[in-house]
Structure 1
């Protein structure tokens, strides 16, 4: 049940829970683009969160993907980190092919309970507040769970990108 889960801005109070989730992702062979040693200590975690905020505000970071203004949100319940989402406020050519406006992850032990669907719904509301009438989402053709999440949120398949990703448009209202 996701009734208590909510969208929050990344916060230091979720440090231990984030580390536990990071361990789950790594055990599942999934890459969150951050390594345990980089964020294990509270001061390093603080610095990493500050970097996330700065990169999102200015749209300037080492990776091409981060060169657009964006916001990072976490999905939490009862003080526990369950997942994360990224809302890109503009599309670059790269994001149009692979990534879209919104990307999301749910930690392995929280999957299958509707969290991804609820998380995406919440981020679509935030996208509307940011001025987007619709949002582009992409997923791998064999990611049936992600396809269901997008379609449950009104996503309509538009095409397949040159990168081989399914591209969906979702209304934000």
Structure 2
């Protein structure tokens, strides 16, 4: 069964295969960037193909979860989780621990992406649902999750996870999702 896990080098091959499925304008969803140590670093597909570079990428992504991590100015503390089935990389989820003013307005606590060849299988909903206890452990309740107003698929994902629509701002729908299952 697919599950959210900390980023791992074990899925290197399938991470690259997933990257190859994305259109150039979607590549940012791979999350091949780090903001730790006060510097931003971005990996290209070619760089990430090198096992040593991929290990550095994974270490950098995992390093952002450290509460003492020094992040790039403007970046809030965050956790990235990968959605995997065995060694198959299916998607990623970002969980922002706090909201800056722009994130409160547009971005929210949780963002996610499913690999194109695995879409329309309920994985986005499963990722979001699996992330809610993690958000609760971080003291987030409820979590803000946003989507483009014209993105019906994401709207359905958020609502399936219990999202309650608050409003629309700047073309984004803003939903609040309870993270505790009291």
- What secondary structure is seen at the aligned counterpart in 2 of 1:169? strand
Match of 1:75 among 65, 77, 83: 83
Post-superposition offset of 1:59: 5.9
1:49 pairs with one of 32, 51, 58: 58
CA distance in 2, matches of 1:50, 1:23: 22
Q: TM-score, normalised by structure 1?
A: 0.89
Counterpart for residue 26 of structure 1? 23
Taking the aligned partners of 1:42 and 1:26, their CA distance within structure 2 comes to: 23
Instruction: Give the counterpart of 1:154 among 148, 162, 167.
Output: 162
Residue number in structure 1 paired with 2:72? 61
Q: Tell me what 2:151 maps to.
A: 143
1:117-168 CA distance string (max 9 Å, x none): 000000112101221121001110111100000000110111122x321111
- Is 2:6–2:62's contact at 8 Å kept on the other side of the alignment? no
Deviation per residue, 1:62-109 (Å, 9 max, x gap): 6x3xx1111000000121000000000100011112210000000011
Tell me which residue corresponds to 1:165.
172
Superposed structure 1 runs of 4+ greater than 6 Å apart: none
**2-structure distance, mates of 1:51, 1:135:** 25
For structure 2, the residue ranges without an aligned partner over 5 or more in a row are 33-43
